[in-house]
Amino acid sequence: MRELIDIEAAHPELITPDSPTQRVGGEPSDAFKPVRHRTKMLSLANAFSFGELTAFFNRISSELGTEKVEMVCELKIDGVAVALTYEHGIYTGAATRGDGEVGEDITANVKTIQSLPLRLFLGSPPDILEVRGEAYLSKEQFKQINEEREEDGQPLFANPRNAAAGSLRQLDPKVTSRRHLGLFVYALGYATGIEFPDQWGLLQYLKTAGFKINPHITKVGTLKEAYSFCEEWQEKRHSLPFEIDGVVIKVNSFAQQKKLGLTSKAPRWAIAYKFPAEQKTTRLIDIELNVGRTGAVTPTAVLEPVVVAGSTVGRATLHNEDEIKRKDIRIGDTVIVQKAGDVIPEIVAPIVSKRDGSEKEFVMPHECPACGGEVVRPEGEAVARCVNINCPAVIFEHIIHFASRGAMDIEGLGESAARQLLDKGIIKDVADIYYLDKEKLLGIEHFADKAADNLYNAIKRSKERPLAKLLFALGIRHVGSHVAEVLAGNFESVEKLSHATPEELIEIQEVGPKIAESIIEFFHENRNRSVVEKLRQAGVKMEQEKPGGAGLSARSFAGMTFVFTGALTLFTRGEAEGLVKSMGGKASSSVSKKTDYVVVGENPGSKYDKAKSLGVKIITEDDFKRLVSG
């Protein structure tokens, strides 16, 4: 490997990027760097029954105004979604799905996949082509890898998908190469200068271009045919050399797809029919209670450990008291367990016939399991909560939330550190975090010189987090990350927000009476006010600078007109237009000279061209988001 790179460095002209000797190599330093997808990588809505499939079909046919909807059925390979980029027909990059917007760079590892074309068989390839597909391991390879791992005493992979994911996360592409991953492509992420009539046509094009597409695809014209395909493969799945977990059904015509549109999570023109999950039975030994940061008391089932879908399950959430009643789950029951989405364990139902009478019904206690305080379940609500504002469990969870990544992002302040700081009485609330010095930090177990330094610096850095993060971190009920962003877009400081009236708050898009009340109540509470004051004293930034100069003011779009075009991914169209209105601007549907900004989403239409010809400012959705949130 070293030598290969050295040769390349010495004689770059001798090596073309698609040379067969170049499967293993690349820039290790780029590995796993974040990569922004050109268009969001969505997931799919699921159907678990014929009924749900029917509901999907009814919805699309009513929205399209016809029962005649041609659909494409494809097997749903149980692997890892990847995005592949080709520039002028040459493979230049690959990324994982990540959160859909930003994935990780796995260019070097994907390059080792033998069936990946390094150069496309196209006369005039598009300047940029991004295709999406599934990297997977055959059942055979999976077995072999696990056998080797067993011999080496390494932990086994639970299933081919985990093994495939693990293989793509290798720092050394040579390891990935030895795993012999397969690859099927099935979708277009982005392409310059080409258009297709439908999914079927796209698949044929991808095949011609040199990609592997899964051979088991079919075009159908009715719901019944689609369902037959699902049933057929549910039966035959075991005869395939790779694992599948369902069938994907897509509306074939791209014109119809466009008409149906997207939600922020998934296209509305496709659905994944999922085969029934693997189920096991085990005994429910006990029901434990957890107290969350809002005081919510959540019952969790403690199970006799059992292997389900490749991993051992020992606990499963039961959500709330009603859920337990509805399913009639009792302590001591034999229960059926499965994994929702193959990840989160779930109790499906008890096996009533196995009862011997010793089972006990669950009763939500009136006393908090953590502090003994009162547990109250308000009329009409599902969740029971500990109402003691001094409950140590609530305070602990609150601190964890405050320091978490989406909030103040204090690296090093995890469960163990928080627990010790609280137990030793060094901190009592989140504001005390900012009064810690190195000496106090050294008192924490496992915190030597360096760790204490790191944490101290992380705390210092967190004082500069944007207003939205701080508002989220405060833990105001009903104010999650999203609402916090909205609030930060409407108020320039904590101070201003704390003086807002209910009327002012309800004016804001996406803030209704409940959220307004919760905010008012939060700032009414003395203890909260003093925490905020302590944070301010410590130097935590409580306001945000307005974007200055010629740019827009984050507070006001007064007199400005916005037009949205293309599919938005960060907001729904309604939200985006609502935000503009709530900030005093106008959202219009057609572009004119008077339009101030055209915000382009995915696959922008003619409005984009018009804006260009009129010289109207064109901004991306990200730019728009920054404008809105300051």
Contact positions toward DNA, by CB under 7 A? 43, 46, 59, 155, 158, 263-265, 268, 290, 292-296, 298, 300, 311-317, 319-320, 322-323, 340-341, 343-346, 380-383, 397, 401, 475, 477-484, 509-516, 572, 574-575, 578
CA distance linking residue 629 with residue 224, whole number of Å: 48
Nearer to DNA, 301 or 611 (CB): 301
Burial of 351 (0-12, 13-18, 19+ CB in 10 A): exposed
Instruction: In angstroms, give the least distance from the CB of 298 to DNA.
Output: 4
Instruction: In angstroms, give the least distance from the CB of 162 to DNA.
Output: 8
Instruction: In angstroms, give the least distance from the CB of 433 to DNA.
Output: 19
The DSSP output letter for 58 is H
Nearer to DNA, 175 or 296 (CB): 296
Contact 331, 302 (CB under 8 A): no
Which residues, 6+ apart, have CB-to-CB distance to 153 below 8 Å?
Answer: none
Instruction: In angstroms, give the least distance from the CB of 136 to DNA.
Output: 18
β 182-191/344-350 pair status? unpaired
Burial of 108 (0-12, 13-18, 19+ CB in 10 A): buried
β 71-77/217-220 pair status? antiparallel
In angstroms, the first-to-last Cα distance of the chain is 48
Contact 85, 254 (CB under 8 A): no
Nearer to DNA, 198 or 346 (CB): 346
Task: Give yes or no: 258 in active site.
Answer: no
Q: Report the residue count for the chain.
A: 630
CA distance linking residue 527 with residue 432, whole number of Å: 13
CA distance linking residue 106 with residue 176, whole number of Å: 11
Nearer to DNA, 315 or 424 (CB): 315
Dihedral in degrees, nearest 10, Cα atoms 136, 140, 146, 151:
-150
Q: Rg of the chain's alpha carbons, rounded to an integer? A: 28
Instruction: In angstroms, give the least distance from the CB of 53 to DNA.
Output: 15
The DSSP output letter for 46 is E
Strand partners, 376: 385
Nearer to DNA, 187 or 519 (CB): 519
Instruction: In angstroms, give the least distance from the CB of 69 to DNA.
Output: 17
Catalytic pick among 76, 250, 274, 607: 76
CA distance linking residue 587 with residue 564, whole number of Å: 8
Nearer to DNA, 278 or 322 (CB): 322
Nearer to DNA, 16 or 312 (CB): 312
DSSP class per residue in 563-578: EEESB-SSS-HHHHHH
Instruction: In angstroms, give the least distance from the CB of 288 to DNA.
Output: 8
Residues marked as catalytic: 76
